[in-house]
Structure 1
Amino acid sequence: MELQGIAALVTGGGSGLGAATAEALAAAGARPVLLDMRAEAAEAVAARIGGRAVAGDVADPAAVEAALDAAAGLGPLRLVVSCAGIAPPARVVGRDGPHDLALFERVIRVNLIGTFNVLRLAAARMQALEPAGPDGERGLIVNTASIAAYEGQFGQCAYAASKAGVVGLALPAARELARSGIRVMTIAPGLMETPMLAGLPDPAREALLKLPLFPKRLGEDRDFARLVLAIAGNPMLNGETIRLDGGLRLPPQ
C-alpha cells in the first residue's frame, strides 16, 4: 500500500502505541486522524504531527463516524489502526468477592466491541473507494490484540477474553472483505515499555527483562509502529495475527 497522500484513522492516538503509529504514518506521508477519549492528549499529538484529532468512544457509532468523516476530508481512507484499549486487573474471585460483572462488560465493550465497531464502519467506507496499486487494494485494517489472548495471567480474565476476541476477528473478517480488496491484520504485542512498568522496583523490572528471548528488553511504541508500516507495505499479509514479543511466553503470574 502506498501511504503517501492517503488518510489514516488511528484510535487511541493520544498516547502509547497509537501516538507512535500516527507519528510514523505522518512521517511516511499519510494524513492521520486520531480518535481518543482524551481530547487534549489527541490534540497535542495531532498538532505535533500535522494531523487531526477527534474526541470519542470507539464503541460509539456516532463518534467513529465523525472520525471517519474527518479522515475522508483529508484523502482516501485506506488505513485504519485500532489501538484503543483498557486493561483493568481483577481476579475471578478476589478479596472483595466475585469479579465485578460491569467491569468485565466494560472491558469487552471497549476492547472487542469497540474494535469491531471501527472495523465494520471503516470497511463500509473503504468498499466505496477505487482500487489502488497493482493488486487492486482498497484498504487495510490493523487491529491490536495482546499475547494475553494466548497466555492470560492472573487477574486478566476480562482483558484476555477481549483480546482473544480480537484475534478471532482477523480471519473471518479478512475472508469476508477480500472480495472488496480490503485486508485485515492483527498485532499481538507482548510486554511493552509503559510509564507503569518504568516505575517498577528494579528487581521486578529485571525479572520482566528476563522473559523475552531476544532482544532482552521490553517492546517499545516504535516497534509497534514499524510493524504497522511493514504490514501496509506487504500485501501478502492478510487474515493473521503477528506476535510482537521477542519470543516471550507469559507465566501464570
Structure 2
Amino acid sequence: MRKLVSAGEILVEIMAERIGQSFLEPGPLLGPYPSGAPAIFIGQAAALGQPAGLIGAVGDDDFGRLNIERLRALGADVSAIAVHKGHATGTAFVTYRADASRHFVFNIRNSASGRIETDGAATNLLASADHVHVMGSSLFSDRAIAVALSAIETVKAKGGTVSFDPNIRREIMQASGMRGALDHVLARADIFLPSGEELFLFSSAKDEKSAVDELLARGLSCIVLKKGAAGAVYHDHHGAVASSGFAVDEVDPTGA
C-alpha cells in the first residue's frame, strides 16, 4: 500500500468539564488532548494499518510534542510535521451547551499551524502518496489552502485520488477564501463525505436524493452521507447502501 496523506491543523483540545460551563468566567477544564481534524484522521488510518502521513506544523513546546508522539506511536509518518521555535502549537477550547451543541475558541491561524507550507519534507511525503484526504476545517488561511490544493494537484497528476470531508465549523467558515477553496476541493474530489446538512452547502437542491444526484453528476465517484446515530448512506452512480449506526454510550463528541 502507498501512503494516504492529509494536511492541516495540529492542535491540542482543552474542554470544559461541565455542561453549560462558560469561558466568560473561571471553571474546571480537561486536557490537553492531541487533536486537529486531519491529525485525528491520519492517526486513526495509521492505527488501522494504512500507511499514512500528515503535513502540518507545531510549536517547539509540550503541546507539539504531545501531538507528534501520539501520531508516531500510532504508526503515522510524522516526517512532514515542521517544528517552529517561537510559535505556539494551536489550541481549541471547547464548551458544551445543554442542547448538545458546542462552542469553540480557536487559535489556529495565528499559531504554528498558520506556518504550514509545502516544504521539502512535504514534497517527499507526497511523492510516496496516491491519495489525499482534505478536511474543510484545514482551509483556514491562504497558506493552508495553497498547501491543500498543491497536494491535490500533485497526487492527481500521478493518477491518485482525493477524498473530501467538509467538517465545517461556524467559527472558521468566514475565513478568507474558505468558501471558494471548499468549492475548488469538491470539484477535484473523488469521494465526498458530508455530515448531515453539509450536503446542502454544495447543492441548490432541497431534498437529499436530488442533492446527491446533482453532486454525483459533477464527477464524484461516490458520496458517503454521515448521519450520526442514524448511521450512514453510501451513494454512487449505481445506487445506495445504508448502514445503521453502532449503539454506543457517548463519552465525548469532541475528537470522536
Question: Shorter-chain TM-score: what band?
Answer: 0.3 to 0.5
By relative contact order (CA 8 Å, sep 6+), the higher-ranking structure is 1
Q: With the length of structure 2 as denominator, give the TM-score of the two structures.
A: 0.42
**Quick check: which one's helix share is greater?**
1
Q: With the length of structure 1 as denominator, give the TM-score of the two structures.
A: 0.42
